[in-house]
Amino acid sequence: MNALIIIDIQLDFLPGGALAVTGGDRIISIINDLQPTYDLVVATQDWHPINHQSFFTEHPGRQAFEHIRLHGLEQVLWPVHCVQGTNGAALAPALSTDAIEAIFRKGMDREIDSYSGFFDNGKKKSTGMADYLKGRGVTELAVCGLAADYCVYYTANDALDLGFKARIIEHASCAIDPERFRQLKTEFQQKGGEIL
């Protein structure tokens, strides 16, 4: 069984949002067209408390996009985004959700960020998505969405570690930093992942 995982198509990641990914709105129609071609469709949603430690506003004197160590892990300090219950955290209205069977929320623990749809960045807690997919008999995954060089990549990379056959759908994903994504794609392919 093959599944499509749609990553974080939320208003804060689209043009005009708090952490907009350039061109992020252009992939929504592609993702909508892809959904009927998969046996199962699930999605993720960044869902941060207002005082999440990944927000630069929680670290006086720091600026957005600085890198720090947070509880032993490297952390990018992000602008405040995808706060629980806010409009910015909502899935984009243009995203077709009829086929989405489950939505897995991540980044809810204020102490640790969660790029992957499967685990937080320290792999301390699972979102339950792996068990859900395995329980449905899924063996192959395709991952798309925002942002390609963070949440899409980390989700696909964890999928490989969990024993799934994993692909990143490049034309249905957008990166914050295209050069970073180029490097990550090479690592992903060397590990056995596929780029579509």
- As annotated, the active-site residues are 8, 106, 151
- Beta-carbon contacts of residue 194 (< 8 Å; ≥ 6 apart): 165, 166, 167, 168
The residue to which tokens 């947070």 are assigned: 70
> Which of 137, 144, 141 lies closest to 159, judged by CA?
141
Q: Beta-strand (E) ranges in the chain?
A: 2-7, 40-46, 67-70, 73-76, 100-106, 140-146, 165-174, 194-195
Q: Return d(Cα 168, Cα 90) in angstroms, integer.
A: 23
Q: Is the peptide bond before 92 cis (omega within 30 degrees of 0)?
A: no
Assign residue 170 a region (left: φ > 0; alpha: ψ between -120 and 50; beta: otherwise): alpha
| DSSP classification of residue 89 | G
CA distance 192 to 187: 9
